[in-house]
Each structure stands twice: as C-alpha cells, then as structure tokens.
A and B are shown apart, each in its own frame.
Chain A
C-alpha cells in the first residue's frame, strides 16, 4: 500500500511561479519529514495532497485515491494542521474542535467524545473551556493539532507544527507528533524548514528545493557517517590541503577547515604527521556526520565525499554526491 504517489507532479501559479516542478515520489506509511527552505514548495505539495489546490500537470494520489477525483474521500481520512493561525479567538477549544469534528462528518455525540479525548491527548485540560484568544502560542498549536486528529485520520499533514514555539514548546510538540505517529500508527507528514527538528521525529526524509526533489531516503541515510574528516587549523589550511593531496589523500580547504576523505586508520596518522610537519596549530579533528544542512549547501562536502563513496561503496551510502550542485 502506497501512502502517497506522485508522478511528475507540477504546479505553476498564475503569475508564472513554479512551485512544484516534476516531482516523482512514492512514500510508504510512516513518519515522514518534508524539508525545504521557505518557498521550496512544501505547503503547495500539502495543499495538492488535500485537494485544496489542483495540480497543473502530473498525478498525485493519497492512499491510492487520486487527488483530482477523490478529494472528498481523501479529506475524510486526512487531518491537516496549517502553518498559520486558524483559530477564532472568541470560541473555546472544546466548541471549536467539536465543530470541526462535525465538519468532518462525525455525529454530534461522537464529535464531543472525540474532542474531549483528543484535547486530553494534546495536553489541554481546564483551559479548553476558555476562549482561545487568551491562549499561548503553545496552546494554540496544540488545538491546531487536536482539530487535525479529532476525526481519527489515517494520515496527518502537519505544516510547520513548531512555528512560533519556544525551545521547550518545540520539544513538547515534537514529542507529541512522534507519539501520535508511533503509538497510534497514523502516518504523519511533517513539513519544516528546520532540519534539526525534523531529524528528531522522522523515519524517512524527503528534501525538496525549488519544487524539485532533492532526495528521499530513510533518515539514517541522511545522517550516517560520510567518511569525511574535518581538520580545523588556525591558519595554513590551503597549505595543509596541498600537502595532504601530495601524500595521496583527497582533500579540499573549506574556510578554516580541510575536508578529506578517510577510509583507513593509517590515514589519520598521515593527517597528524602532516600537520606536525607543517607546524600548524591544530584546533580539532572531527569525524563528519553528514548534516542535513549539507543538503542545501552548495557542493562543499560533495568533492571529498564523492571519491570516498566510490572507493568504499558500503561505507557511506548515497551522500552529497547525488545532489545537483
């Protein structure tokens, strides 16, 4: 069963803006992170999946239902938490979430029961009878999540769920998302531009940039060791890079650090000796994990990582080398 299937999905807005550009992707159920900078097309993709926006061309289906023709059926089983504020301030959370449950087609008794249950799940207790205008951002985000869950969806689409939250609030929201996905077995798609957050909740990651698919892979593949060693020196990094290259290593200078591909222990000795021979002041030696930020950086780690990947295929799966420069 495919959760989401995209086939060459393209969305162009009237004023010539291309939000999605030939996206092809199959996703299995799980907790899926959708990362990309602001304007990368995350929200557009979510709205297309909901049937709120028609695609310009290509196909998209959710749970094997086509978004163009089966929008109403899809929406019955999907919960959506929008990025922006969407709560009327003069209504209580209980009344609002109950109303939204009714709008999903739940009978009124079920709507009330589910509302109580879901608000408890997101951690809103006595406050739920007060008007939402007086809520903190954290409470509002919880209500937004609750209304997305109230009708028992099979898929949750969360657009920047930690928007505007302080670090503690972020932690709580992320834990809540994680718990919702794992305990209840609901498939979750979390869109965010904050890679560090996504990393903490997702099993699978989809990175898009300017409407194109950058990469889709299990989270592990994104953060595994890349076989890249970063050597930070106070000065003389070009000197060092040249010397290392002369001794048969793949090295490039990147700011104050030199990045090089390492695959065996002896190479560390070469690095140590080279630094000592050049009498450089060594600040740190760091085994690089590929950080998600690298996805959006221009080819910096790609140069040393690519030959390493060629040299030792099993060590580091697809790395920066796959990415368009």
Chain B
C-alpha cells in the first residue's frame, strides 16, 4: 500500500544516507523536511493552548463556555460605548467620569468572568493530558518538562489576557471615536492604555497562574473546577470576616494571600481610584504592596506549576 505513495514533496532522494550507512537509508517514507526543534515545538504548544482555551479545535460544545464568558466580559464595555454614542448624538456630553462603566471600574465587571473562564478551561487544559496519559508522548519528544509546563501556563495566561483586555480596548476605541474630535480623544485616552494593559496582565497572570497550579495538581476535572472557584471566592470572604469582626492587623497580613482582593488593590493603585471592595478600602494598604504581591504570587504560581511537571511521573 505504502509502496504506491509518492515520495515526499521536494523530490526526496530515496537514498538519504546518515552517517552510519544503509540503515539510515530511509527510502521513500523518510522525512527529510525541516526539523525546527524545541523552540518551534514550544511555540506550537503555546498557540495551541491559546486556541484550545477558547475551545477551538475541540468541537462545537467546547466553545460554548469560553465564548459566552468572553462575550459577557465585553458586553458592559459595548453598552457603555453605545450609550455614550447615543448621548453624544443627542447633544449631551460624551461618556465622562459620570458613567459607571469606566477603565477604573471595569475590573469589577470583568473579574467574575475571568474567574469562571479559569474554572471552566484550566482543568481541561491541564487535566486532559494527565487523565489520558498523553504526557509520556510529549516528554518523549523534543520538549522538556519545563517547556511543556511553561507553554501551557503561558497559553492560558495569554488567553485570559485577551479576554481581559478586549473590553478595555472596546472602551478605548469607543471613547476616542465619541470624543468631539479624534485628536483630543486620543490625547486624553492614550495615558490610560499602559494602565489597563498592566492591570489586565496582572489579572491574567495571577488568576491564570493559580488556576494552572490547581489544575495541574488535580487531574479530575470536577475537583479542579471546584478548587479554582473556591480559591477565588473564599479568601475574600475570610478577609472580610477577619477584618470586620476581629482585628485589622490580621486582615492586613492575610489580604495579600487573597487573589481577588490583591487584584482589587492593584486596580485602585493603577487607576488611582477607590477600591471596589470595602475591606480593601478600609485596610488602606499602600498600592505598591498589592502590585508587588501580585507579581510575587504570579511567579510563585508559575514556578510551582513547572515544579509539578518536573516531578510528575510519566
């Protein structure tokens, strides 16, 4: 059967000789094309992870959750821009700081969807290969374990970043267009770009890093989903209880381990706004502390996820 297959593209010589003689005369089935090696494999896994975070390449049903959550995350921004455009047409002011949907407040609209996105997709991205025994196939190729883990974590974080940053981009474009003239619009909106990019990166990094860590340790999908939701939802409640009932010092110590509160803190530090959560506001920690905590925790979560893959049996 394979005797009838044409030689590989490029007029492959049937006598490609390796250094050792005729055993490397691979014949017509030989692959003589390029071998791009490790870096190419890592890049391919990274982009495949981003795509499968959105369910692309995994059938129709796999796309429902990620695309719904992404749409819900963008929806408030679209509405805000729409109302602003209507208001501008009616002669009112453009969407000003009076609008409840601003860069500074958007985190509170979007964060719940990012959390749900993590809870829905991370177990799939990290659990599948463990559940179905695919890891030995990866590790017996050019990728190292560190490469595999980094590409996976990086892919999830990149996907989350896309979901997180796109409503800000919608807001930005909308505000520039709705402004009386584009030049003033740009000059007033551009300073906000690095802010929302930074906040989006911190959110994607911290939530994606933690979700990866949990999912990598918990191959069972249902447990991983529950654990991810718990890690995002429960700590802010504990912090609020401790802060409200007992002492603020203890709350100050533990709030940095509550990812939801840390990101609320970074948001208010970055945009110079009042924190969304009352407990973050009342504890009144310096903003850089939240940003620092977020950076350290992202590094720790990514590092521990890689460590998990260095030790996993395969």
Interface size class of B (residues with CB under 8 A): 35 or more
- With A103-B41, A103-B44, A184-B27 as known contacts, state yes or no: A86 contacts B137, CB within 8 Å: yes
Instruction: Identify which of A76, A78, A186 contacts B37 (C-beta below 8 A).
Output: A76
Q: How far is the CB of B1 from chain A (nearest CB, A)?
A: 7
Would A82 and B137 count as touching, CB distance under 8 A?
A: yes
Compute how far the CA of A78 lies from the CA of B33 in the bound complex, rounded to whole angstroms: 16
Instruction: Identify which of B26, B48, B134 contacts A86 (C-beta below 8 A).
Output: B134
Give chain A's interface secondary structure class: loop
Would B24 and A103 count as touching, CB distance under 8 A?
A: no
Compute how far the CA of A90 lies from the CA of B221 in the bound complex, rounded to whole angstroms: 15
**Closest A residue by C-beta to B62:** A90
Instruction: Identify which of B23, B34, B133 contacts A107 (C-beta below 8 A).
Output: B34
Compute how far the CA of A184 lies from the CA of B14 in the bound complex, rounded to whole angstroms: 10
Stretch at the interface among B112-120, B139-147, B186-194, B281-289: B139-147
**Closest B residue by C-beta to A147:** B137
Is B20 in the interface zone, CB < 8 Å from A?
A: yes
Interface size class of A (residues with CB under 8 A): 35 or more
Compute how far the CA of A104 lies from the CA of B137 in the bound complex, rounded to whole angstroms: 10
A sample of 17 more A-B contacts (CB under 8 A), given A76-B35, A106-B34, is: A1-B23, A29-B20, A52-B136, A75-B142, A76-B37, A76-B142, A80-B137, A87-B132, A100-B137, A102-B40, A102-B44, A105-B35, A105-B36, A106-B35, A113-B8, A120-B5, A147-B137
Would A84 and B133 count as touching, CB distance under 8 A?
A: yes
Q: Which of A58-87 contact B (CB under 8 A)?
A: 63, 72, 75-76, 78, 80, 82, 84-87
Compute how far the CA of A26 lies from the CA of B41 in the bound complex, rounded to whole angstroms: 32
Compute how far the CA of A84 lies from the CA of B136 in the bound complex, rounded to whole angstroms: 10
Would A106 and B141 count as touching, CB distance under 8 A?
A: no
**Closest B residue by C-beta to A2:** B20
**B143: chain A residues within 8 A (beta carbon):** 103
Is B11 in the interface zone, CB < 8 Å from A?
A: no
Would B140 and A186 count as touching, CB distance under 8 A?
A: no
Is B31 in the interface zone, CB < 8 Å from A?
A: yes
Q: How far is the CB of A190 from chain B (nearest CB, A)?
A: 16
Compute how far the CA of A143 lies from the CA of B164 in the bound complex, rounded to whole angstroms: 38
Would A121 and B29 count as touching, CB distance under 8 A?
A: yes
**A75: chain B residues within 8 A (beta carbon):** 140-142
Is A220 in the interface zone, CB < 8 Å from B?
A: no
**B62: chain A residues within 8 A (beta carbon):** 90
**A183: chain B residues within 8 A (beta carbon):** 2, 27, 29
Per-residue interface assignment for chain B, residues 36 to 62, with 1 indicating a CB less than 8 Å from any chain A CB and 0 otherwise: 111011001100100000000111001
Q: Which residues of B contact A (CB under 8 A)?
A: 1-2, 5, 8-9, 18-27, 29-38, 40-41, 44-45, 48, 57-59, 62, 128-129, 132-134, 136-144, 314
- With A86-B133, A120-B5 as known contacts, state yes or no: A80 contacts B40, CB within 8 Å: no
Give chain B's interface secondary structure class: loop
Per-residue interface assignment for chain A, residues 148 to 164, with 1 indicating a CB less than 8 Å from any chain B CB and 0 otherwise: 00011010000000000
**A106: chain B residues within 8 A (beta carbon):** 31, 33-36, 40
Compute how far the CA of A151 lies from the CA of B314 in the bound complex, rounded to whole angstroms: 21
Instruction: Identify which of B5, B21, B128, B136 contacts A1 (C-beta below 8 A).
Output: B21
Compute how far the CA of A30 lies from the CA of B24 in the bound complex, rounded to whole angstroms: 11
Compute how far the CA of A86 lies from the CA of B302 in the bound complex, rounded to whole angstroms: 26
- With A106-B35, A185-B27 as known contacts, state yes or no: A88 contacts B140, CB within 8 Å: no
Q: Which of A110-141 contact B (CB under 8 A)?
A: 110, 113-114, 117, 120-121, 123, 131
Would B26 and A103 count as touching, CB distance under 8 A?
A: no
What would 24 A/B residue contacts be, using CB atoms closer than 8 Å? A1-B21, A29-B20, A30-B23, A52-B314, A72-B144, A75-B141, A80-B140, A82-B140, A84-B133, A99-B48, A104-B141, A104-B142, A105-B142, A106-B35, A106-B36, A114-B8, A117-B5, A120-B1, A121-B1, A123-B1, A183-B27, A185-B26, A185-B27, A186-B26
Q: Which of A247-303 contact B (CB under 8 A)?
A: none
**A89: chain B residues within 8 A (beta carbon):** 132
Q: Which of A175-210 contact B (CB under 8 A)?
A: 183-187
Q: How far is the CB of A126 from chain B (nearest CB, A)?
A: 15
**Closest A residue by C-beta to B27:** A184
**Closest A residue by C-beta to B148:** A103
**B35: chain A residues within 8 A (beta carbon):** 76, 104-106, 151
**A63: chain B residues within 8 A (beta carbon):** 20
Would A107 and B38 count as touching, CB distance under 8 A?
A: no
**Closest A residue by C-beta to B151:** A103
Would A90 and B31 count as touching, CB distance under 8 A?
A: no
Is A91 in the interface zone, CB < 8 Å from B?
A: yes
